[in-house]
Amino acid sequence: MPHTLAAPAQAELEVRRSRFLAVALPVSGREEATEQIARLRAEHPGANHVCWALLAGGHSGMSDDGEPSGTAGRPILEVLRHHDLEDVLGAVVRYFGGVKLGAGGLVRAYTDAIATALLDAEVIERIPETTLAVTANYADAERIRRWADGEGFTVPDAAYGESVRLTLVLPEARCTEAVDTIRDLTGGRAHPED
């Protein structure tokens, strides 16, 4: 079962006068990862490189950001894979110290930086989630919302018209059970879209 991070983790290493600032953080996908990379670039305008790797389902990727090919993004990605992480961005900001490290030295430095950041990171089990849309009358919608809150499911969206269309986010493994419960709660009046 894949894991993710409960909170961001970071570390700093110095290798032959170059500073490597490593950050590993949970992200919901490529869009959030792109925002985080842009934030890192803005926070470190004097950095020579912001290299990264992303493991997020079909939205994975990596970048050497000007370092020799395969010396930064790939090592970061391999460390994330080794830790069986998913929905995680690993990024390393490098301030060049004037001494060239060579390809092997760069691979070691980027690997060590992200691995050090993950040493004390709180790793949690990643529970795959799904979205369930439900159409109900106003009274049943409130009943469904209270039930969802009690189960720890989130209701990020509700559209009100002649009826109410609720969007629920819940663990994938509980979807069938949720559909059955919603039908029971509402006497079959609510219509989950599975």
Per-residue pLDDT of the chain (194 residues; tens, 9 = 90+): 578 887 888 999 989 998 999 999 998 888 889 999 999 999 999 999 999 999 987 778 999 988 999 999 899 999 999 998 888 999 999 999 888 888 899 999 999 999 999 998 888 777 778 888 999 999 999 999 999 999 989 888 888 989 999 999 888 888 889 899 999 889 889 888 75
Q: What is the b/e burial string over 80-98, where b = at least 16 CB atoms within 10 angstroms of the residue's CB? A: beebebbbbbbbbbbeeee
- With residue 114 as reference, give the H or E element that holds it: helix 102-119
- With residue 51 as reference, give the H or E element that holds it: strand 49-55
**Interacting residues of 4 by C-beta distance below 8 A, sequence separation 6+:** 26, 85, 86, 87, 88, 123, 124, 126
Do the Cβ atoms of 73 and 64 come closer than 8 Å? yes
Model pTM score:
0.69
Long-range contacts of 39-44 (CB under 8 A, 24+ apart): 40/91, 40/93, 44/93, 44/95
| Full strand arrangement of the beta sheet holding 88-95 | 9-15, 18-26, 88-95, 49-55, 61-63
In single-letter form, the type of residue at position 28 comes to: S
Angstrom CA distances, 79 to 51, 97, 191, stand at: 14, 24, 44
In single-letter form, the type of residue at position 132 comes to: L
Q: Which domains does the chain have, with CATH numbers?
A: 1-123 (3.30.230.30), 127-191 (3.30.70.240)
